[in-house]
Chains A and B, each alone.
Chain A
Amino acid sequence: MNLAVNNTSLFLAAMLVLVALAISLWQKLGLDKDIVIGVIRAVVQLFLVGYLLKYIFRVNNLWLTLAMIAFIIFNAAWNARKRGPGIDHALGISLLAILISTGVTLGVLVLSGAIKFIPSQMIPISGMIASNSMVAIGLAYRSLNSQFHDHRQGVLERLALGSGLLDASIAIVREAIRTGMSPTIDSAKTVGLVSLPGMMSGLIFAGVDPVRAIKYQIMVTFMLLSATSLGSIIACYLAYRNFYNEHKQLK
């Protein structure tokens, strides 16, 4: 392997942060504080995670691995919730949606033999699945919120005609699921042509034959489609009812 990032080169690469800082100051973007905080957080978080993963991989304990996956899922749900202001139980809904989408996708990958149930494979893959599911759910929440606002009159008219809540919301729910899934579908179309995605780049970096590396990327594409579609559909079907009160009226 010819991986050569050492502390000195990392320190020199930190000059790149100065580029962003300089632009922020020069153009008066007011982002300098955020950049500094962002960089410090990234460095501290990644160092902690690096040491933590090193420990978990070495111990190779089933419960510790599951606890780490649970921690990832909970954090993903916590972040997805923030995209759904005004949606009650958004944390519970996100947790269930991410848990099921990650669980099902991981289960298929393990059972098919694509990945092994060892921490060094399970944890990074769980992170990729949960974070994509999180982004999809966040987009779906945002879409639900904006559509229930923009199409309020149409929903009211459907209700006035004696429509059930799902019939009154179905067009909105479908559009929100579509919004959640579309980035994954779009990136599936351009994968390899526009960018070499993380999984594949990482393997190539580590010296793996590109033809083997793409097989992993193909697996990632499949798993992200499953994760984002399951995450979006579960979250939308559980969340739409929150836009109505107990009298089946639009809030």
Chain B
Amino acid sequence: MDALMTLKQINYEVADKQILHDIDWQIPTGAHITVTGPSGGGKSTLLRIMAAMITKTSGELTFAGQPIESYDPIMYRRQVSYCFQQPTLFGETVADNMAFPYQIRKQSMDREHVITALTNFGLSERTLQQAVTELSGGERQRVALIRNILFLPQVLLLDEVTAGLDEDNKQLIHAWLRRLNEQKHVTTIMITHDATEIAAADQLVKVVAGRLEVAQ
């Protein structure tokens, strides 16, 4: 399979502190990868570089055959979408959050599509009018994740999105991610510390002290 993303000799340093060392990594189209490693090892930094949220100090990063520098960062982030560990929801209601991806594309919200997305993820039309402050942790995370996929990206980068959630929510999110990967062919890269998730990984990589180690 062709590599969708290629990282060559990626280094990242901040204030003279080297966070990532010479990362070489090829991510095939449609991959479902689990990333693990000790806290502070550089996993999040690596994903944030891949999401164009921060810029590498040196090295080459290509996406779909083109260097990352050749893309407009905003258009790039719509293709390589980053999901946060403890997401902030916008505005007052769930509907405000669902409307945001449309708003930034100067479109009006496709209600049918949003309701389908909510239902596919164990939520319902009624959720739309719910205040964001009334949601449980698992619901918040699901609402946040739906924001990322209302317009399907090619790559979904997930930074410990199940951390702190109960088993039911973890299961729901895993099943949902697998469907996205298998049916919609979204390449998914997920950071986790969870032993069950690590054990269930198709492909596992470790980031230790700023270096990438391919496990299994």
Contacts and interface: CB of A to CB of B under 8 A. Distances in A.
B100 A158 contact: yes
Interface in A137-156: 153-154, 156
B52 A249 contact: yes
B84 A160 contact: yes
B87 interface: yes
A60 interface: no
Interface stretch (A114-122, A162-170, A221-229): A162-170
Contact of A162 (B77, B84, B90): B77
Given A153-B88, A163-B104, A249 B74 contact: no
B52 A247 contact: yes
A248 interface: yes
Contact of A159 (B77, B83, B148): B77
A248 B84 contact: no
Contacts of B54: 249
Interface string B50-88: 011111000000000000000011110110011110011
A157 interface: yes
Contacts of A167: 103-104
Interface of A: 153-154, 156-165, 167, 245, 247-249
Given A159-B77, A160-B77, 5 more contacts: A154-B88, A158-B90, A248-B72, A248-B74, A249-B53
Instruction: Sort A-B residue pairs by CB-CB distance and give the 8 closest, nearest first.
Output: A162-B78, A248-B73, A160-B82, A162-B77, A163-B104, A154-B88, A167-B104, A153-B88
Interface of B: 51-55, 72-75, 77-78, 81-84, 87-88, 90, 100-101, 103-104, 144, 147-148
